[in-house]
Chains A and B, each alone.
Chain A
Amino acid sequence: MPRLNAGTRHVVRFTLNGRPAAFEVEPRMLLTDALRHLLGATGTHVGCEHGVCGCCTVLIDGMPARACLTLAVQAEGCEIRTIEGLAPSPARLSILQAAFRRHHALQCGFCTAGILMSLEAFLATRPDPSAEELREVLSGHLCRCTGYAPMIAAALEAAAKLREDAVHV
């Protein structure tokens, strides 16, 4: 592959929430900034920009990733999922989102997008998690409003609902 020069912009293509996306970036542009400033996907929030707070967590090929610790050019050809892709339709929340709402698992909402993406990935691999395992997943996020307990309750309830739905399919 040709070397991408620092000072010029290069085309990057990936799939964002199921739709093809293409944009031009310098190699140093972070995935957070590409999502927010170039693609208008401002649901991914930027907290600390060094991988500590977890606000910018997105899914890259189904696995969680700090978008602030990912260069946009690293995402070339990948499947990116962000909070904008969680709800099945504009008028309906996902099961996990609805559980968050029911349990008041968010207040200011700044950290919520990242946490939902983490839990989305975790529940996909671990449909019947314990509260302890969920606490460990949430240790990768900082929330200053909720004290985390309602998130655990919401995630447990969503997991149960998702398992139930899987049986009835």
Chain B
Amino acid sequence: MKPAPFDYLRAESLEEALAALDQGGSEARILAGGQTLLPMLNMRLARPALLIDIMRIPALSAISLEQDAIVISAAVRQATVLARPTLGTEVPLLAAALPWVGHFQTRSRGTICGSVAHADPSAEIPLCLVALEGEIRLRSRRATRRVSAEQFFVGMMLTDKGDDELIEAVAFPKRRPGEGYAFAEVGRRHGDFAIVACAGVVDAKRMRLAVAGVAERPVARDFPLLDGTALDDALNAFAWDLQARDDIHATARYRRDLVRSLGRKVLEEAAACRA
């Protein structure tokens, strides 16, 4: 349980990190909070030749407010975002989901962008980003680009990010007037990976449900405003379309059941708290 050897670069500027990433290609990995990368290194599931530590780059430690979004840079730790007093009014969904991300002891190290880069299919932060239709801001030595969350997550721990790119920041859309939000998850214990996690966004015209832990990536679907059996039927169809599979944590059938029950719960809660 010790990492294989690698070179280590503590980058002092974004330019330095991008140049090293450009040179290192697929052999280089960005190290931020390390809460997902270090276990993979310890278990030797990852054997990069170079780790580029970005946590001391001043330009990557900002949380900034734009007109419609809160933009969280790559070196911002989850605990910092959770401790932000205005988070509940800015991005209520993220405020509801963040306490479920890992533990007190890992949120103090892990970053928001690191969780997005890792793209675990059951992870809460990618789920929120997909539910809210947020965007990922990528940067390489040559170019910058923005990718919508729905296009960014490609499969299990697979993203649209190129080997020479790093996630500079992610943008969570701010609370919109008339929208309600809710989050719920079921796991074996608090802080464990979710078996199923659901995020709901409801406004005057549509209900949007995003689900993690079932398909190979977080998936969202928009519904018109439904209730009663029409909502049951729509959720049932969605649950089947996600093509759940059995694994050691839960059966496919149980996962579908959670999509139906948690899905209904978050949509009803989101509709009830519409402001």
Q: Which residues of A contact B158 (CB under 8 A)?
A: none
Contact (Cβ within 8 A) A70 B6:
no
Q: B86-125 vs A: 1/0 string, CB under 8 Å?
A: 0000000000000100111110110000000000000000
Contacts of A137 in B (CB 8 A): 103-105
Shortest CB distance A11–B (Å): 13
Q: Contact: B39 with A27, CB < 8 Å?
A: no
Closest CB in chain B relative to A5 CB, distance in Å: 6
Cβ A63 vs Cβ B108 within 8 A: yes
Task: Assess whether B10 is in contact with A73, with CB atoms less than 8 Å apart.
Answer: yes
Mark interface residues in A117-130 (1 if CB within 8 Å of B CB, else 0): 01001100000000
Residue A163 at the chain B interface, CB threshold 8 Å: no
In the complex, the answer to whether A27 meets B51 with C-beta atoms within 8 Å is yes
A3 at the interface (CB under 8 A from B): yes
In chain B, positions 11-62 with a C-beta closer than 8 Å to chain A are: 11-12, 16, 20, 31, 34-35, 38-39, 41-43, 49-51, 53, 55
When distances are taken between beta carbons in the complex, the residues of chain B under 8 Å from A4 are: 7-9
Complex Cα gap A33–B106 (Å): 19
Minimum CB–CB distance for B3 against chain A, Å? 4
Given the contacts A49-B42, A122-B104, A139-B190, A74 and B6 also touching, CB distance less than 8 Å:
no
A71 at the interface (CB under 8 A from B): yes
> With contacts A65-B109, A70-B38, A74-B53 known, is A140 near B103, CB below 8 A?
yes
Closest to A4 in B: B8
A51 touches B106 (CB 8 A): yes
- Tell whether A28 is near chain B: CB-to-CB under 8 Å: yes
CB < 8 Å neighbour of B12 from A1, A60, A65, A71? A1
Query: Which residues of chain A are near B8, meaning CB under 8 Å?
Result: 3-4, 27, 71, 73
A5 nearest CB neighbor, chain B only: B7
Closest to A28 in B: B3
Complexed CA–CA distance, A33 and B42 (Å): 13
> Whole-angstrom distance between the alpha carbons of A72 and B64 in the complex?
31
Say how far B126's CB is from chain A's closest CB, in angstroms.
19
Q: Is the CB of B105 within 8 A of A76?
A: no
**Which residues from A are CB-within-8-Å of B103?**
54, 137, 139-140
Contact B5 A136 (CB under 8 A): no
State A69–B21 Cα separation when bound (angstroms).
22
Chain A residues numbered 33-76 whose CB sits less than 8 Å from any CB in chain B: 33, 49-51, 54, 57, 60, 63-66, 68-71, 73-74, 76
Inter-chain contacts of A122 with B (CB < 8 A): 104
| Interface flag for B2 (CB, 8 Å) | yes
Contact string, A73-110, partner B, CB cutoff 8 A, digits 1/0? 11010000000000000000000000000000000000
Any chain B CB within 8 A of the CB of A26? yes
Which of A5, A118, A140 has the most chain B CB atoms inside 10 A of its CB? Answer: A140
- Point out the residues of chain B lying under 8 angstroms from A64, CB to CB: 104-105, 108
**Once the chains are docked, how many angstroms separate the CA of A50 from the CA of B50?**
20
Q: Is the CB of B79 within 8 A of A50?
A: no
- Which chain A residues lie closer than 8 Å to B108 at the CB level? 63-65, 121
A27 to B1, CA, bound (A): 15
What residues of B have a CB within 8 angstroms of the CB of A66 in the complex? 35, 38, 105-106, 109
Other A-B contacts than A33-B2, A51-B39, A140-B105, 8 sampled, CB-CB below 8 A, are: A27-B8, A28-B4, A28-B5, A50-B42, A64-B108, A74-B34, A118-B104, A136-B191
Instruction: Please provide the 5 A-B residue pairs with the shortest distance between their CB atoms, ordered closest to farther.
Output: A140-B103, A27-B8, A6-B5, A49-B1, A69-B38
